[in-house]
Amino acid sequence: MEKPLLGSSHGDVGLWVRSLIESRKLWHIAGPAIFTAICNYSLGALTQTFTGQVGKLELAAVSMENSVIAGWVYGFLLGMGSALETLCGQAFGAGKLNMLGVYMQRSWLILFCTALLLTPVYVFSDHLLKLIGVQDDISDLAGKFAIWMLPQLFAYAANFPIQKFLQAQQKVMAMAWVAAVVLVIHAFLSWLTIIKLGWGLVGAAVTLNLSWWLVVFGEFGYIVVCCTDTWTGFSWLAFKDLWGFVKLSFASAVMLCLEFWYLMVLIVIVSYLPDPLVPVDAASICMNLNGWDAMIAIGFNAAISVRVSNELGAGDSNAAKFAVWVVSVTSVAIGVVAMIIVFATQDVFPVLFSNSPAVQKEVTRLAGLLGITVALNSLQPVLSGVAVGAGWQAVIAYINIGCYYIVGLPTGILLGFTLKFGLEGIWGGMISGIALQTLILIVVTASTDWEKEASQAESRVRKWGGSLENGNSSSQKNHVTIA
């Protein structure tokens, strides 16, 4: 019989020790993943920050392209790549190492084809922005910048499968080193091209495109040299079972897109306000900060997705369940600290992002809502990571539709326009959708039958193994020991 974890001093000690061990495993993945996510996010955020020193119109244009055009595409491609997170993680846990490289190649094929289909979004972005009501001068400049950013679209398609491939094997330190080096290069080149040489948006586009492709080449170079067990070169097997892979990828894309697009839509809605330049700039700055903080939660998202998928693939349902509770408590604690920091610095941080007193004042007014958003977003991405690790993408997609677009978005429009609360009302209403979704995810996670999930993971690995299944025995267990 399993010893109780609670109700006795021995049980309390056992729980404490288990928590420390699990926390160590999570931080082994989450620490480098958080650092990598912050560095990658900072590429666009730094570009936006340097552009803000050029002018309000340039900042609004870059913000619109980053938040709406690139944000929409980023969410879709990241979602398509998240199918790889489920499959690679569970295959690695089951000991089928030779399946990972083929999975990554299948994902590349799907994402590059998807990127080609999404190219018109960049080419006609000025018309699309005007169609949804964005001010003409902002739309025109954002559309021009979007066309210059087409190389970034294909860098996304190449990078996301690589990241999921490495994360599934817990080889996250390599990603962190690549991200750090590229960020330093990007910061210098951004200052040089945008400010020193005065290239403005042209310099921003050249630097941002170059930096994303440096990330791709750096990570793939590491795979070729150091991942010989899971990468054995290009294979025609990548073309097998593509349609089934597409369906799983699309379910992942819908789930994550609905999350990424939600706050992206906020920028579009704000552009309908009277004199939208200041509100758009203020909202983009707050979303910029929220995005940086969200990188911490996304790091935990990656960590818990890997832990859950690895343990389910290995058939250990109890370990998967315990990992969920440990990472949830940890991420909430970090979210509360981040909220306190936002409240304490609300009169200081706006100055770093804009030299306009009007924009600075509006950002300070939004700080309270930003703090609440930061706290909520500490847990929500983690629970989404659990969903990806377990393969619940389709179910979570329906939850996201209801919470975000049936509750949150209409509430934000009602408060912002009908009740005349402006930007604060729009943001506050949309927070309600995030809060409801987080509550539902807590209930779903708490009521999960983890033994059933482990059984389904075994079936999924067999289904997608194909002719590779004989390569490694399914009885192999790849539990990584943290030294």
Cβ atoms < 10 Å from Cβ of 115: 21
Among 25, 23, 169, residue whose Cα is nearest residue 85:
169
Amino acid 223: pLDDT:
92
Q: Does residue 452 contact residue 391 with C-beta atoms inside 8 Å?
A: no
**E strand or H helix at 428:** helix 422-446
Where along the chain do its domains lie? 26-470
CB-neighbour burial class of residue 196 (10 A; exposed 0-12, middle 13-18, buried 19+): exposed
DSSP type of residue 305 = H
Helix %, strand %, coil % of the chain (to 5): 85, 0, 15
Amino acid 468: pLDDT:
43
- For the chain, 483 residues long, the average pLDDT of each consecutive 10-residue run is 42 72 84 86 85 80 83 78 73 76 86 92 89 82 91 93 86 92 94 87 92 95 89 78 71 70 76 80 81 76 76 75 84 88 86 81 88 84 70 74 88 90 88 88 78 65 50 38 30
pTM of the entire predicted model: 0.71
Among 241, 254, 304, residue whose Cα is nearest residue 86:
304
Amino acid 471: pLDDT:
41
What is the C-alpha separation between 167 and 169, in angstroms, rounded? 5
In 3-state terms, what secondary structure has residue 100?
A: helix
What is the C-alpha separation between 87 and 159, in angstroms, rounded? 17
Amino acid 459: pLDDT:
64
